[in-house]
């Protein structure tokens, strides 16, 4: 059974960088799937942030591209997200996910709430 | 950007009744559409992909249809565990995925 687990600070100060990691178990991150991050502000809908392939190919939401970096560590079977210059608008539950290639998400992490506040 | 519009925003249905949810794309996405179910405090769960293919373990009462710009998710006989928020997602325009704003199915 594939499992994804997000980790990282639950509170980030405005203008700082949000950093999250997703540990993958039950599958190899080099298995041929894409891996991504999706967020959901409290009480709102879903927004795709970024995705990565194990080869290192990266894909970003154009609206966030200037502030986002996604990376993969195949040795640790995990991938990470960095979002810089955060504001209160970046407060959200952040989900990591396994993508069926460039298509849909077939496995989700449980999500982690990140609050941007001083 | 492809805009996905779901309707209605809220659907009130009695247990055992049929629920019909709509999702419209601002331009044709062929059949590159997925549906997800999200319950409070949980991550979304994949229900349907390819507009009409049920994901593994999804009950037959869930069905999807449509192509191009108009799509429908039908729940044939609502069970108590089906009351949730449902999202559609297009993946035709990779890497610019977009989601609909969601339809909440509530108990009437």
| Sign of the torsion angle spanned by Cα atoms B38, A98, A1, B59 | positive
The predicted structure's pLDDT at residue A56:
87
Q: Residue A104: is its pLDDT beyond 90?
A: yes
The predicted structure's pLDDT at residue B32:
96
CA A36 – CA A17 distance, rounded (Å)? 18
Distance of CA B101 to the CA centre of its chain: 11
Give pLDDT tens digits for A25-43: 999 999 889 999 999 999 9
pLDDT band at B99 (very low <50, low <70, confident <90, very high): very high
Contact B43 A102 (CB under 8 A): no
pLDDT band at A44 (very low <50, low <70, confident <90, very high): very high
Phi, psi of B70 (to 5 degrees): -120, 125
Give pLDDT tens digits for B14-72: 999 999 999 999 999 999 999 999 999 999 999 999 999 999 999 999 999 999 999 99
Give pLDDT tens digits for B60-72: 999 999 999 999 9
CA B101 – CA B48 distance, rounded (Å)? 17
Q: Which residues of B are less than 8 Å from A100 in CB distance?
A: 49
Residue B9 zone, left/alpha/beta (φ > 0; ψ -120 to 50; rest): alpha
Considering only residues B95 and B35, tell me which one the structure prediction assigns the higher pLDDT. B35
The predicted structure's pLDDT at residue B95:
85
The predicted structure's pLDDT at residue A102:
81
Spell out which chain A residues touch chain B, with contact meaning CB-CB distance below 8 angstroms: 45-48, 51, 59-62, 95, 100, 102-106, 108-111
The predicted structure's pLDDT at residue A54:
85
The predicted structure's pLDDT at residue B43:
97
The predicted structure's pLDDT at residue B50:
96
Cα–Cα nearest to A71, from A86, A85, A55, A87: A55
Cα–Cα nearest to A108, from A94, A92, A91, A95: A95
For chain A, give the mean pLDDT. Answer: 95
| DSSP classification of residue A16 | S
CA-nearest residue to A4 within chain B is B43
Residues in chain B, how many?
Answer: 108
CA-nearest residue to A103 within chain B is B91
Contact B95 A108 (CB under 8 A): no
Contact A45 B95 (CB under 8 A): no
């Amino acid at each position: 059974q594939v499992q994804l687990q997000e980790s990282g600070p639950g509170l980030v100060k405005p203008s700082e960088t949000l950093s999250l990691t997703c540990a993958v178990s039950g599958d190899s991150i080099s298995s041929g799937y894409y891996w991504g991050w999706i967020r959901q502000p409290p009480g709102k809908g879903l927004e795709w942030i970024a995705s990565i392939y194990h080869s290192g190919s990266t894909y970003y939401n154009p609206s966030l591209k200037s502030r986002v970096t996604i990376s993969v560590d195949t040795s640790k079977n995990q991938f990470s997200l960095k979002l810089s210059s955060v504001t209160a608008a970046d407060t959200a539950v952040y989900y990591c996910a396994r993508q069926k290639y460039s298509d849909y998400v077939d496995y989700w992490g449980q999500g982690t709430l990140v609050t941007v506040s001083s | 950007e492809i805009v996905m519009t779901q309707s209605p925003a809220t659907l009130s249905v009695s247990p055992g009744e049929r629920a019909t949810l709509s999702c419209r794309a601002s331009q044709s996405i062929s059949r590159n559409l997925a549906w997800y179910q999200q319950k409070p405090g949980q991550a979304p769960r994949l229900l349907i992909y390819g507009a009409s293919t049920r994901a593994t373990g999804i009950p037959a009462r869930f069905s999807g249809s449509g192509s191009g710009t108009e799509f429908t998710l039908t729940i044939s006989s609502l069970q108590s565990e089906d009351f949730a928020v449902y999202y559609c997602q297009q993946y035709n325009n990779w890497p610019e995925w977009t989601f609909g704003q969601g339809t909440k199915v509530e108990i009437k």
